[in-house]
Amino acid sequence: MNATIKDVARESGFSIATVSRVLNNANASYSSKTAKKIKKVAQSLGYHKNNIAANLVKRTSTTIAVIINSVKTNFSFEILSGIQEEANKNHYSVIILYAGNRSDNLTKQAIETAIDRSVSGILLVAMQLNQENTEMLRDANIPYLFVSTHPNNPLEKFVSSDNHLITQTAVNYLIKMGHKKIGLVGIDQHTTGKERLAGYKKQMLANNLSINNEFVQYGDYSYESGQKIIEKIGPLIKNGDLTAVIAASDMIGAGLIKGAKKEKIKVPDDLSIVSIDGTYICEITSSELSSITQDFRQIGSLSVETLLKKKNSKFVPIKLIKRKSVKNLM
């Protein structure tokens, strides 16, 4: 059995990132003592980079690994369809690695599997990486990009919708419909949520609208989360202190509608809703959800093109689709 970088890491007690740096003679910071130790372990385990690993690189030069998260949303299949379609066109095959629900450990495993199989590129769908996983990915020297998330670091490449623009567009639409008491609900506390919050705040301020503390509610983009949020903002709505909200996902929007029904809050008479995503969920809900629609299929297909042709990062256009969940106050 031929040893892998993983084996060498386990046996030597060093991280995969460090082992990878040493065995690839990367220009990175490790002591000569560390290098010596690792090389010794690698030798004792029979690690042969130029034998198995190099052959693997050549064999698999037409495979893209897609690492996906199971966030509680429903759009991943659209993105995967787009990726698959574009990869096919370019005669690349795709393997998908599932990183569980925001688990750093499962994400690490997925990245290791991709590196270990020497894929030619990695797409990270709706993922956020911690420091360790980021370093491992960088050291692997395999092209990668973020899909449907806009990473903090400007050096990282991405294909995504523009989260600032999404909430700005939603606020503008609600203002045009006569709303002034507008909330943003269901966002997370990571990059995506922060950007959406920033866009919302900016546009509210630009229109001299004040933001009550309770106007912003956090969640996890899930249906359950949407239902819970109604309990918190119910009193505000009943008092007329909040007439409209932007839902951080269609699932949040669906949860809001369901929760509102229980609380005898009418959509859109008492509460107007614009949801973010615009998937089929918007049509299935009883009060058809107006939405800021993201083009997930294009996000998927553009991400492959960007990866393969080393194009620049890109925001994909969004669209406002008017359905029945917004009341016109004008």
Q: Which of residues 109-148 bind a copy of itself (CB under 8 A)?
A: 109-110, 113, 116-117
Tell me the per-residue interface mask from 270 to 299 with a copy of itself, x by CB under 8 A, - otherwise.
Answer: ----------xx-xxxx-------------
The span of 29-37, 103-111, 201-209, 233-241 binding a copy of itself (CB under 8 A) equals 103-111
Closest CA to 260 of 278, 287, 279, 241: 287
Residue 97 C-beta: closest distance to a copy of itself, Å: 6
Selected range binding a copy of itself among 57-65, 162-170, 206-214, 228-236, rule: CB under 8 A: 57-65
Listed residue (117, 110, 106, 115) closest to 96, CA to CA: 110
90 is a site residue for a copy of itself (CB under 8 A): no
Query: Which residue, 35 or 94, has its beta carbon nearer to a copy of itself?
Result: 94
Judged by CB under 8 A, the residue of 44, 90, 93, 152 near a copy of itself is 93
Sign of CA dihedral 130, 133, 137, 140: positive
Question: In angstroms, rounded to a whole number, what is the distance separating the alpha carbons of residues 255 and 188?
Answer: 16
Q: What is the largest CA-CA distance in the chain?
A: 77
Question: Contact 35/20 with Cβ under 8 angstroms?
Answer: no
Yes or no: say if 287 and 317 are a contact pair by the CB < 8 Å rule: no
CB of 323 to a copy of itself, least distance (A): 12
Q: Which of 223, 230, 243, 259 binds a copy of itself (CB under 8 A)?
A: 223
CB of 213 to a copy of itself, least distance (A): 30
For position 4 contacting a copy of itself by CB under 8 A, the verdict is yes
Residues contacting residue 209 through CB under 8 Å, at least 6 positions apart: 175, 180, 181, 182
| DSSP per-residue codes, 150-188 | --SSTTS-EEE--HHHHHHHHHHHHHHTT--SEEEEEE-
Residues in binding contact with a copy of itself, number by CB under 8 A = 38
Exactly one of 64, 79, 97, 242 binds a copy of itself (CB under 8 A); which one?
97
User: Are the beta carbons of 165 and 318 closer than 8 angstroms?
Assistant: yes
**What is the binding site for a copy of itself (CB under 8 A)?**
1-2, 4, 52, 55, 58-59, 63, 70, 74, 76-77, 80-81, 84, 88, 93-98, 100, 106, 109-110, 113, 116-117, 223, 254, 258, 280-281, 283-286
